[in-house]
Amino acid sequence: MKSLVPATLLSLMVAACNGGAGGVSASATPSQKAVFEFFVMSKCPFGVQVEDAFGPVKEKLGDAVELKINYIGDGGADALTSMHGPTEVTGDIAQLCAAKQDATKSFEMILCQNKDSKSMDTNWSDCGKSVGLDVEALTACVNGDEGKQLLAASFQIAKDRGAKGSPTIFLNGQPYQSGRKTRDFLQASCAVFGDEAPQACKDLPKPVAINAIFFSDARCGADCDLKKIEPKLKSAFAGLQVKYVDYSSDEGKALYAELQTAEPTFKLLPEILFVDDPKQDADAYADVQRYLKPLGKYQELRLGGSFDPKAEICDNTTDDDGNGQIDCADASCKEKMVCRETKPKQLDLFVMSHCPYGAKALIATNDALQTFGSDMNLTVHFIGSEQGGELTSMHGPTEVEEDLHEICVQAHYPKPAQFMKYMACISKDYSKVDWKDCAKEASVDVKTIETCSSGDEGKKLLAASFALATSLDITGSPTFLSNNKRTFNAIAAPDVQKQFCQDNAGLKGCSGVVQEDASAAKPVDPAQCGSPK
């Protein structure tokens, strides 16, 4: 399990903002100020969102809050770079020049610019004029050495503070851990003031108390750790009250039985269950409602848990499922990594045939195979899923079709040199190459592969391959399994050689030189082809 929270949900809880309306005057400034530091990139949408969310805070609390903005990028004054390109550098410079001229008006200029954040490099002039800045002096700063020096210094401040992501936020010198909506910034500010809080703080409604159960199993370990999710969820639901329940307790057993009674298919942990109606906090509910579903008397926040508390745990010397078989002796543990037998010289490669990095790995592995020969016992497996007899894979039906071709070639022509010749051929340009041409090049009978791939034989082979990858929790293409025990990732032939030799020192191929295919020597991008371990 790679993450307990879907990426889109995590982004909502961490980065979403909702600028509120102002209109309440700030009272006298308390002795203790709330000083926020934002480290942003001027064109980063999340940076723009927190700036917009902070606008009403400044309007309500006035001088009781202070905002300092610095920028994230690289280079000295003569070579400044930022993630969103030269136009962002110009936007950064304009905002720093405005801040040097007038800190209050500069933030007003930023809020004006944020209405069209794609034009940060040009809209500073009109926005600066609209808020009363000296545009002539601002222009001289933006176009001269002064602006570049200001940005270089700002980049260095960000680096010194360890700020790499936009936005990175500090409150009174400490990392800011709360939410990023207007109300969150208000509440965090008011907590600083204590008894001297301005009237605007006293007028704030108290967060709605919403109870939730964090239901997990300590035996699952880090994959089921809900503590890391609590602060993120509290950033959305400010009044969240959390109760932790572990499956091993009597309460946990009773809760599990209750959930299974409500939903007979319920099986996997961890779970987050809202006891109270999350709609009571309308803003937070809007952020997460798509991830909620009823489960008995609760609202379940879908996490994608994968731990079955009633299943055998394969390395704890306990008969967890009560069938008289412990750990690796239990049939359900047979394919788990901890129970797999070490098999020298064996290399397994798990791929998606239409993953660009899986294709590179196939080409690289074929090159490595030429060096190792019979000292490399190679098998290729595929990553996907099978439900109700339907085979699916990340890159769609055409990928499944090619998976079927490749697994059938491997089944009928089991010598690695032959099936890898076919796989390497098709992988060079899988979207354009005719598989039949690659079959002929590898001396593979087209009719035999057509019969296999279009019939039950191919489907059974591929379903079993998908099931193996799932049982080993392998979801990223490419993933290698060396000697039946250790996984690694590689897409260049020398890296395949190095990793294989780590477990098989002394083989002749370990002293040979494998020619690197330049087209394959690029970093693996887990976003395109799953999540390599």
DSSP calls for 256-316: HHHHHHH-TT---B-EEEESS-GGGSHHHHHHHGGGEEEETTEEEE-----B-TTSPPTTS
d(CA 337, CA 320): 18
Q: Where are the beta strands (DSSP E) in 77-223?
A: 168-171, 174-175, 210-216
Check pLDDT > 90 for residue 309: yes
Each residue of 246-290: pLDDT tens digit? 999 999 999 999 999 999 999 999 999 999 999 999 888 988 999
pTM higher than 0.75, yes or no? no
Nearest to 482 by CA among 465, 500, 497: 500
CATH of span 16-202: 3.40.30.10
Give the helix/strand (H/E) hosting 342: none
User: In which element (H, E) is residue 136 found?
Assistant: helix 135-143
Report strand pairing: 292-295 vs 210-216.
Answer: unpaired
Angle between helices 86-101 and 103-113 (to 10 degrees): 150
Banded model confidence at residue 17, pLDDT cuts 50, 70, 90: very low
Beta-carbon-side half-sphere exposure of residue 358 (alpha carbons within 13 Å): 33
Choice between 458 and 335, residue whose per-residue pLDDT is larger: 458
CA of residue 17 relative to chain centroid, distance: 20
Q: Where are the alpha helices (DSSP H) in 445-510?
A: 446-454, 456-471, 493-503
Q: What pLDDT does residue 41 have? A: 96
Residue range 31-55: average pLDDT? 94
CA separation for the pair 215, 58 (Å, rounded): 39
Residues of the chain with CATH 3.40.30.10: 16-202, 341-520
Q: For residue 16, is pLDDT > 70?
A: no
Of residues 204 and 411, more confidently modeled: 411
Q: What is the pLDDT of residues 493-523, one digit of tens each?
A: 999 999 999 999 999 999 988 876 554 444 4
CATH of domain 341-520: 3.40.30.10
Q: Per residue, what are the HEC states of 12-58? A: HHHHCCCCCCCCCCCCCCCCCCEEEEEEECCCCHHHHHHHHHHHHHH
CATH fold, domain 210-301, is: Glutaredoxin (3.40.30)
**Residue 305 banded pLDDT, cuts 50, 70, 90:** confident
Q: Is 81 within 8 Å of 73 (Cβ atoms)?
A: yes
